[in-house]
Amino acid sequence: MEYLSRYWTFMAKYNVLNAFWVNVSLTLAAGALALILGTIAVTMRISPVSSLRLASTFYVNVFRDIPLTVVMVIMASVVWMQLNVSFSNDFHTDFYILAVIGLGIYHSSFIAEALRSGINTVPVGQAEAARGIGLTFLQSTRIVVLPQAFRGSIAPIGNTIIALIKNTTVASVTGVSTETSSTMQAAIEMGPQFIFLIFLTFALGYVIIVIPVGVLSTSLSRRLAVKR
């Protein structure tokens, strides 16, 4: 018990809640970017223009193959250091934006593949009927195919979001130094006698964040499934 109270006074120096909030905000921003880029990629993938199809295939395969840590190192070492890309005067904002871009691009490839599997659940007759009543490709995608595809791929998208929540810890490679993995390393460095409790604290925090997302994704995928 005295061990726990010593641990509590030790951990109070580290702003753990703020660290989790940084990860959650990275998830929200990168998730939005990934959904937008993934939808664009999958629309290119099913378009009638073959060069757009090839470009989308290339994009998805490249970003599924590069490990996330390498993407984040490229953001820090190549984009920020060598190419001198900068969005503001404050490097903290720069690193945050670069981390969001890196996470968003990486997960957009998984979202694109999840949406493509959702599109495959839509019967071919739907697209043919849309052509039959005179809709153009973009109209038929936007009005007929994609809404059904989204409703059919909620479970894989939910899985990708859960992976994204945990992958935001890799943002420390891009220099975001207030998020959970950096805070955990700082705590372990100064308090090695509490190492197991520190691990437990951060693991429990992530369990608390991820379980509701998983439950929500399962219940939504059942409720919104298209009844055919």
Partner 1 sequence: MKKMLFGIIAAAVSLGMAGCATGTSNPTTSGTSAKEPALEVVGKPFSTERYGVGIPKDSPYCDQINEAIKSMISDGTWQAKLDSEMTGVKYTPNAATNPPAQFETCDAPGTAALVTPGKITIGIKFDQPHLGFKDGNTYTGFDVDVATYVAGKLGFSPDQIVWKEAVSAQRETLLQNHQVDMIFATYSITDARKEKVSFAGPYFVAGQDLLIRAGDTSITGPESLNNGKKLCSVTGSTPAQNIQDNYAQQVQLVQFTTYSECVQALLTNKVDAVTTDDIILAGLAAASSQ
Interacting residues with partner 1 (CB under 8 A):
54, 57-58, 61-62, 65-67, 70, 73-74, 76-78, 80-82, 84, 91, 172-173, 175, 177, 181-193, 195
Which CB, 55 or 213, lies closer to partner 1?
Answer: 55
From the CB of 56, what's the least distance to partner 1, in Å?
Answer: 10
SS in 3 state form for the chain?
CHHHHHHHHHHCCCCHHHHHHHHHHHHHHHHHHHHHHHHHHHHHHCCCCHHHHHHHHHHHHHHHHCCHHHHHHHHHHHHHHHCCCCCCCCHHHHHHHHHHHHHHHHHHHHHHHHHHHHHHCCCHHHHHHHHHCCCCHHHHHHHHHHHHHHHHCHHHHHHHHHHHHHHHHHHHHHCCCCCHHHHHHHHHHHCHHHHHHHHHHHHHHHHHHHHHHHHHHHHHHHHCCCCC
Q: How far is the CB of 177 from partner 1 (least distance, A)?
A: 4
Cα separation of 182 and 7, whole Å? 18
Closer residue to partner 1 (CB): 112 or 154: 112
Least gap, CB of 57 to partner 1 (angstroms): 5
Closest approach of Cβ 77 to partner 1, in Å? 6
d(CA 45, CA 52): 7
Q: Which is nearer to partner 1, 14 or 150 (CB)?
A: 14
Residue nearer to partner 1 on the CB measure, 150 or 202: 202
Tokens of 116: 């493509």
Q: How far is the CB of 69 from partner 1 (least distance, A)?
A: 9
**Cα–Cα distance for residue pair 37/40, rounded to 1 Å:** 5
17/89 with CB nearer partner 1: 89
Q: From the CB of 147, what's the least distance to partner 1, in Å?
A: 27
- Residue nearer to partner 1 on the CB measure, 52 or 220: 52
Least Å distance between CB 225 and partner 1? 29
Of the pair 205, 214, the CB lying nearest partner 1 is at 205
